[in-house]
Structure 1
Amino acid sequence: MTVTTDVKHRGRGPALTRLKGRWIEDWRPEDEEFWANGGAKVARRNLICSIFSEHIGFSVWTLWSVLVLFLGPAYGIDPAGKFMLTAVPALVGSVLRVPYTFAVARFGGRNWTIVSASLLLIPSVLAAFMIKPGVSYSTLVILAAIAGVGGGNFASSMANINAFYPQRLKGWALGINAGGGNLGVAVVQLVGLLVLATAGKGHPGYVAGLYIPFIVVAALASALYMDNLSQARNDKHAMRDVAKDPHTWIMSVLYIGTFGSFIGFGFAFGQVLQVQFKSDFATPIDAAYLTFLGPLLGSFIRPVGGWLADRVGGAKVTFWNFVAMAVAAGLVLTASAQKSLGLFLTGFILLFVFSGLGNGSTYKMIPAIFRAKAQLGVANGGDPDQAEHEARRLAGALIGIAGAIGAFGGVLVNMAFRQSFLTYKTGDGAYIAFIAFYALCFALTWVVYLRTHSRKLVGV
């Protein structure tokens, strides 16, 4: 390819070197002069486009959390069947996150965002025209599975933005990118509420149809305003290398507790309300009025988790956040036993808030872990540039793995609810399981990242 240079690098300050086709060859976000002289502006433009595309992806991914509210008696589906319809896209989305992370390195962040945004048209168009009384349950399962493509967008978006921003701003950048994406979970609830309130529960296809023009806009904006980083084309063995690191699996468990909870509750909350507190709601629209608040607050607070982690450390924020999640789950369990809708809503909204906060802090921990390991290598005589490159390479790979495994937590949440309602006719069994898992997470965070010991990583 022919190289074009905006500013000559040698002897005249920082450079922003581009290749044809919106490829940037030289990207040095840790260089403060480079960052101030154009780097920050480019990163911000890519972040804005990434947030919008990821936001639409999340909405399409969680589309079925709303569509199941439209599936009344005419569809002949029991609560267990509906929980299965929300578990399927969560499963497909979690599986797709690994290849979506590879896609950024293989095709470029801009190029893959165009493709991944365009793919969202398939589940949206199919759902818009095919969901109606008389459709078979197997067809609905297939349609729900196809919606899982929206779940992959998060992994590619986060891996891409991670490469654009310097270490000191990663918590904020990754937090706001993910928070804007997560907001799609709340917005699709509001879209569903709008359709229920205006067209009624006989038109589920309208919910999917409303997203079609926004998907087109997302693909066009990515094509016009985003960039690819040639440095993001790291070696093909990053996933293999990072899989050998024990921190990969520790962070994946923690991410199940934060993101897995958020996306799982986002899929399941409306159904849980309708099943467990059926007598409190005359129509599905009454429950829909309450389902968007938790995802909304959880999405907005996610950047705060990254911001706090930047200042006091990701491990500290994550530890106390899991303690708070265990307490909130205990509150939900108490409310369930007392059949108190008000207390139940309070506890669940707190779970959404703390899961969103923890999303930001755990993602901040990922680059911080490899940054700390790189600094140890430099202190022992290693090359600083090579250590920095290795830290970025492994952090990007871990984002893909943790994102995929964390998303699988959404499947576990829905299956836990399904089994609990089948066995106990309430969600109590699931709430007890959540409390136990959050206790495991805060204990793990303390033992590995906060307790003083010889192998502790400083600065995580």
Structure 2
Amino acid sequence: MTTPATPPARRLGGRWIEHWDPEDEGFWARTGRAVANRNLWQSIFSEHIGFSVWTMWSVLVLFMGPEYGIDAAQKFFLVAVPTLVGSILRLPYTFAVARFGGRNWTVFSAALLIVPLVLALVVLRPGVSYPTLLVVAAFAGVGGGNFASSMANINAFFPERSKGWALGLNAGGGNLGVPVIQLLGLLVIALLGAGQPRVLIAVYLPLVVVSAALAWVRMDNIAAMSNDTGAFTEACRDPQTWIMSFLYIGTSGSFIGYSFAFGLVLQNQFDRTPLQAATVTFVGPLIGSLIRPYGGRLADRFGGATVTLWNFVGMAVATVVIIAASGAQSLGVFTAGFILLFTLSGIGNGSTYKMIPAIFTGRARVAIAAGADRETELGTARRLSGAVIGIAGAVGALGGLFINLAFRESFLSVQSGTPAFWAFLAFYVLCIGVTWAVYLRPRRASVPGAAELARV
């Protein structure tokens, strides 16, 4: 979202960059690349800690034995609460970057993570009421908002030709917060037993302080960014916004939802102990996080729509494997299918996020070829892609909520996750159809921008 810079006297904080033009190859080679990469690596670390805090309840529920008096359905709902709050916060977090500056907002949002950690540290013990747990878990949702602000900020630093890799690296490094906190949870359970969840929480308190301090020292604000509610309104009216948000439910929503639910599914469907469940829950999110940048790189090379289409085909096949394994009660095949789903969701996360700026840049190129002003059209593309990244990130994260609610109803009704997996399969088939119909189906030459959209 790029508009004339705000007067310096009205800006908060320091480290404002007055001129930023990553599309200028000379500027990028001289100073742009180094500055952008410095901001990228710090953004990854801060987002990583945010993801860990956001998903910590998916680990904490593994510590909640019979003494907590909470059944499986209540646990699925408990981990759904931070998913919902994080999804809602992604919209205001996106626009906060433009309003306060990427560096300034990263410092604040990183420091804010202390609140859910301290609350969980105080209340988490046998005998705590379920409503209290719901309220405290809701505060962990602030970690989910960090993803949207981080992505909107990094989107402004990099040129179009590098966005797929940069956004994929930023998101993948942030997503690694999920397997890392799950692995740490495994270590705590293995070394100290399932009765010490507060040890895991305490580990993250100093990391939050370090994250905020490093963001203060190493990051920058871009002066040309300012709040643009017009871009948000325009994006909401654009059908592409909602099509991409729908597809992002299938990729990011799957990653988030399965990250929260995997351990609980293993415990309740295959009678795994907390230690047995924790031993494998981190593997899928780890692979999905590491492979996300390569999803963006594949999209840079072959086109986001093509990669996304075949990725959804793979997710549908993996879901069929899981359904078959559930019926056969084959833990090994079930786990392998779930890990494949995580892997494909990571690739799809990278390819769908690459599609967003490509769609609007493609439109701009069509307009420029028809005689429109280049700077105006490319500026509009940046504004809209920044807004859509925030909207799609928020809507897509709601997929994680739907997955956990589906599992809750499934286990309530038949004590198995199989009905939920049938619903997920139907959704992935629908995503295949939408991707092909909108971006890959042969179009008439008279459709404006059709050729550009086909290559996003």
Do these two structures clear the TM 0.5 threshold for a shared fold by scoring above it? yes
Report Cα offsets for 1:142-200 as digits up to 9, x if no partner: 11100000000000000000000000000000000000000001001011111111221
Q: 1:199 maps to what in 2?
A: 192
User: Aligned with 2:207: secondary structure?
Assistant: helix
- Is it true that 1:431 corresponds to 2:421 in the alignment? yes
Distance 2:34 2:13 in 1: 19
Structure 2 distance, partners of 1:370, 1:202, is 51
The answer on whether the counterparts of 2:168 and 2:294 sit within 8 Å (CA) in structure 1 is yes
Quote the offset at 1:20 in angstroms.
8.0
1:440 aligns with 2:430: yes
Q: CA offsets per residue over residues 380-429 of structure 1, 9 Å max, x none?
A: 22110011110000000000000000000000000010111111211111
TM-score where L is the length of structure 1: 0.95
Identical-residue share of aligned pairs (%): 63
Q: Select the residue among 296, 300, 306 that pairs with 2:290.
A: 300
CA drift of 1:230 comes to 1.4
CA contact (8 A) 1:65 1:270 kept: yes
Query: Counterparts in 2 of 1:48-127, with a 5 A limit?
Result: 48-127=41-120
- Tell me how far apart the structure 2 counterparts of residues 167 and 349 of structure 1 sit (CA, whole Å): 32
AA in 1 matched with 2:191: T
Q: Is contact 1:159-1:399 (8 Å) kept?
A: yes
Cα distance in structure 2, aligned partners of 1:235 and 1:186: 35
2:170 aligned with 1:180: no
Tell whether 2:389 aligns with 1:386.
Answer: no
Aligned counterparts of 1:194 and 1:138: Cα–Cα separation in 2: 29
Match of 1:273 among 266, 269, 272: 266
Counterpart for residue 189 of structure 1: 182
Partner of 1:11: none
Give me the whole-angstrom Cα distance separating, in 1, the residues matched to 2:377 and 2:48.
33
The 10-residue stretch of structure 1 (244-253 or 127-136) with the greater mean CA deviation from structure 2:
127-136
Provide the residue aligned with 1:171 in structure 2.
Answer: 164
Residue 29 of structure 2 is aligned with which of 31, 36, 52? 36
Do 1:2 and 1:19's aligned partners in 2 also have CA atoms closer than 8 Å?
Answer: no
Deviations 1:205-244 (A, max 9, x none): 1111110101001000100010001122142221111011
Inter-partner Cα distance in structure 2 for 1:235 and 1:319: 32
> Which sections of structure 2, spanning at least 5 residues, go unmatched?
1-5
Answer yes or no: is 1:225 the counterpart of 2:218: yes
SS across alignment from 2:233: helix
Counterpart CA distance in 2 for 1:165 and 1:437 is: 33
Identify the range of structure 1 (65-74 vs 121-130) with the bigger mean alpha-carbon deviation.
Answer: 121-130
Q: Is 2:200 the partner of 1:214?
A: no
Question: Following TM superposition, by how much is the alpha carbon of 1:19 offset from its aligned partner in structure 2, in angstroms?
Answer: 11
Q: Amino acid of the residue matched to residue 386 of structure 1?
A: T
Which residue number in structure 1 is paired with residue 140 of structure 2? 147
In the TM superposition, residue 2 of structure 1 has moved relative to its aligned partner by 9.0
Given the superposition, is the C-alpha separation of residues 336 and 20 from structure 1 closer, same or farther in structure 2, using an over 3 Å criterion?
A: closer
Contact 1:89–1:148 (8 Å) recurs in 2: yes
Preserved contact between residue 148 and residue 389 of structure 2 (Cα < 8 Å): yes
Change in 2 beyond 3 A, CA 1:177/1:36: same
- Output one character per residue of 1:248-288: Cα deviation in whole Å (capped at 9) or x when no partner: 0000000000000000000000000000000xx3x311111
**Contact 1:329–1:431 (CA<8 Å) still a contact in 2?**
yes
Partner residue, 2:3: none
**Amino acid in structure 2 at the alignment position of 1:277:** F
Q: Which runs of 4+ in 1 moved over 4 A?
A: none
Equivalent residues, number? 443
Q: Distance in 1 between matches of 2:181 and 2:14?
A: 34
TM-score normalised by length of structure 2? 0.95
Alpha-carbon distance between aligned partners in 1 of 2:423 and 2:12, rounded to the nearest angstrom = 52
CA RMSD, Structure 1 to Structure 2 (Å): 1.3
The answer for unaligned runs of 5 or more in structure 1 is 4-17
Asked if 2 retains the 8 angstrom alpha-carbon contact of 1:374 and 1:391, the reply is: yes
The answer as to whether partners of 1:83 and 1:268 remain within 8 angstroms in 2 is yes
**326, 338, 348: which is aligned to 1:336?**
326
Q: Would the aligned equivalents of 1:251 and 1:402 in 2 still touch at CA under 8 Å?
A: yes
Contact 1:19–1:25 (Cα < 8 Å) also in 2: no
How far the C-alpha of 1:299 sits from its partner, in A, is 0.3
1:413 equivalent in structure 2: 403
Query: Partners in 1 of 2:119 and 2:203 — Cα distance?
Result: 13
Cα distance in 2 for partners of 1:25, 1:449 equals 37
Q: Give SS of 2:224's match.
A: helix
Amino acid of the structure 1 residue aligned with 2:105: W
